[in-house]
Amino acid sequence: MKTNFAVKGTIKLGVLCLFFVQIGWSQNSDQQQLKNIYDAALTKGKSYDWLNYLSNQIGGRLSGSIQAQQAVNYTKQELDSMGLDRVWLQPVMVPKWVRGIPEFAYFETSPGVTTNVPLTALGGSVATPPSGVKSEIVEVKGLEELAVLGASKIKGKIVFYNRPMDPTLINTFAAYSGCVDQRYAGAMEAAKYGAIGIIVRSMNLRLDDYPHTGSMSYGDLPEDKRIPAAAISTNAAELLSATLQLDPKTKFFFKQNCKLFPDVESYNVIGEIKGSTHPDEIIVVGGHLDSWDLGDGSHDDGAGCVQSMEVLQLFKQIGYKPKRTIRVVLFMNEENGLRGGNEYAKVAMEKNENHIFGLESDAGGFTPRGFSFDGPDSSFEKIMGWKDLFEPYLVHLFEKGGSGADIGPLKNERITLAGLRPDSQRYFDYHHAENDTFEQVNKRELELGAATMASLVYLVDTHGLNP
Ligand SMILES: [Zn+2]
């Protein structure tokens, strides 16, 4: 009996050793693959050159613009040259909103005594009358205060929303979320009380002279009730607020001639490497190809597009043949409609495609800190087991939370969605403003982001998830 036990014990020990050797081998090979990926990104990356072209040869890529179409053509051509298994354009109808000639604004403390104000129309806003709008101003800290004041105080005035982003929030996206209702719904709500226009403090944590645009909505307001909406720079918001303290009769003038045209056809740009063993399991990695028109959209979201293309490029570079199908999607029209993201999910559903994982980069091309995940707990637990592999690259953040707007429509009970989380401290210095330009993106930071994305996609592809 004793001998028997010993024999059994030896066999068990042997199996156990083999098990640990296998785990060890798999961890070593994962470590090595991540190193290969980061090395390739930092020495043979293409993301920075692609971004240079998108930003400096094409520029701002608002949906429906010539530049958006040029970006479709350019990125398709680059994907075509990468030796992928399939590259195609997915048609989608998008809104076409055009800013027109530059806006003009000032405030007036007494007749003829004016101070010019940097101002930009919000995306989707109606124009002012050709001669502009001018009236007294009502400053509020938000939609609740507007409702308290009501029509008696608001009618015939310009409403000035001036609640700043909360500087104490380390996640600046949380500060943005806490403020952006003023921009998005400010005109719709003020119009109900008879305002003739609204201006909003830019969604920007720092004080500077750049007005930041962004999307807004009139909800179901009929066309003749819609009022013009614009953002002013944070410096201008501070100055205007201080001036109003001294003289509540101060008047504001602004003029803009933006216009919404009928929808036009555009495209999501898609490329894929077919999976070698599970071709029907699809992993999507993407960003949005459209941008606002003020800058060249380098951080938002040129960076996310070129990083997503880079994931496939890096796999080709290091000779990694994925088991599952890896698809890059450059979504059209995230900024003012999300039509590309919705269309992609709709077609995926119609074709009964099995998407197991989606990763989006749409938070700027800054130093990667980690990811946030939205999906089944079992998959999140499995991903947490890979966290240590990212330690050498100073990537630490693995948390539950949102993913990305464009991949959001793919959500179901099985899929895991993730968002790259770069350092967010500087993002809102540039977001939707004229200074979101190529010079603001650091090459290494951009490449590290791409490598971090490729590493996670590699791990999901190699080991699968547990939905
Ligand atoms: Zn974006």
Q: Is the pLDDT of residue 122 over 50?
A: yes
CA 362 to chain centre: 3
Is residue 1 included in any domain, yes or no? no
Residue 76: pLDDT over 50: yes
Give the E-state strand segments of 82-222 in sequence order. 86-98, 104-110, 113-116, 119-121, 133-140, 158-161, 197-201
Query: How many angstroms separate the CA atoms of 366 and 443, rounded?
Result: 9
pLDDT exceeds cutoff 80 at 286: yes
pLDDT at 23: 53
Please list the residues that pair with 328 across neighbouring strands. 271, 285
Q: How many domains does the chain have?
A: 2
Q: How far is residue 260's CA from residue 384's CA, in Å, rounded to a whole number?
A: 46
**Cis amide leading into 166 (omega within 30):** no
Give the least confident one: 4-8, 140-144, 386-390.
4-8
Whether 208 and 311 map to the same domain: the answer is no
* 159: its two tokens: 């409403």
Q: Give the pLDDT score at 3.
A: 43
Q: Is the pLDDT of residue 411 over 80?
A: yes
14 or 341, which is more confident?
341
Residue-range definition of the domain harbouring residue 109? 100-257
Ligand 1 centroid, distance to 303 Cα (angstroms): 10
pLDDT at 18: 52
Gap from CA of 63 to ligand 1 centroid (Å): 13
What mean pLDDT comes out for the span 197-216?
Answer: 98
Query: Is residue 18 situated within a structural domain?
Result: no
CATH label of the domain that carries residue 144: 3.50.30.30
Residue 4 Cα to ligand 1 midpoint, Å, equals 66
Domain boundary among 197, 229, 257: 257
Percent of the chain with pLDDT over 70: 94
Do residues 198 and 170 make contact, with C-beta atoms less than 8 angstroms apart?
Answer: no
pLDDT at residue number 27? 72
Please check whether residue 290 is in contact with residue 333, taking contact to mean a CB–CB distance below 8 angstroms: yes
> Identity (one letter) of the amino acid at 358?
G
Q: Residue with structure tokens 């053509």? A: 73
Please tell me the distance between residue 300's alpha carbon and the centre of ligand 1 in angstroms. 5
Q: What percent of the chain has pLDDT over 90?
A: 94
Please indicate, yes or no, whether residues 273 and 193 belong to a single structural domain of this protein.
no
Mapping DSSP to helix (H, G, I), strand (E, B) and coil, where does residue 256 land? coil
CATH number for the domain harbouring residue 328: 3.40.630.10
Q: Which residues are catalytic?
A: 334
Among the listed ranges 16-30, 307-321, 333-347, 368-382, which one has the minimum average pLDDT value?
16-30
Residue type, 386: W
Calculate the average pLDDT of the chain: 95
How far does residue 432's CA lie from ligand 1's centre (Å)?
9
Residues 293 and 437 in one domain: yes
Using the structure block, give the residue that is written with the tokens 């051509």: 77
28 phi-psi bin (left φ>0, alpha ψ -120 to 50, beta other): alpha
At residue 14 the predicted structure's pLDDT band, cuts being 50, 70 and 90, is low
CB 334 within 8 A of CB 377: no
**Interval 331-364: pLDDT, tens:** 999 999 999 999 999 999 999 999 999 999 999 9
Query: H helices within 265-351, ranges in order?
Result: 303-318, 339-350
Q: Which residues contact 140 (CB under 8 A, 6 or more apart)?
A: 146, 149, 159, 160, 161, 162
Q: Is residue 141 part of a domain?
A: yes
Question: Does 399 have pLDDT greater than 80?
Answer: yes
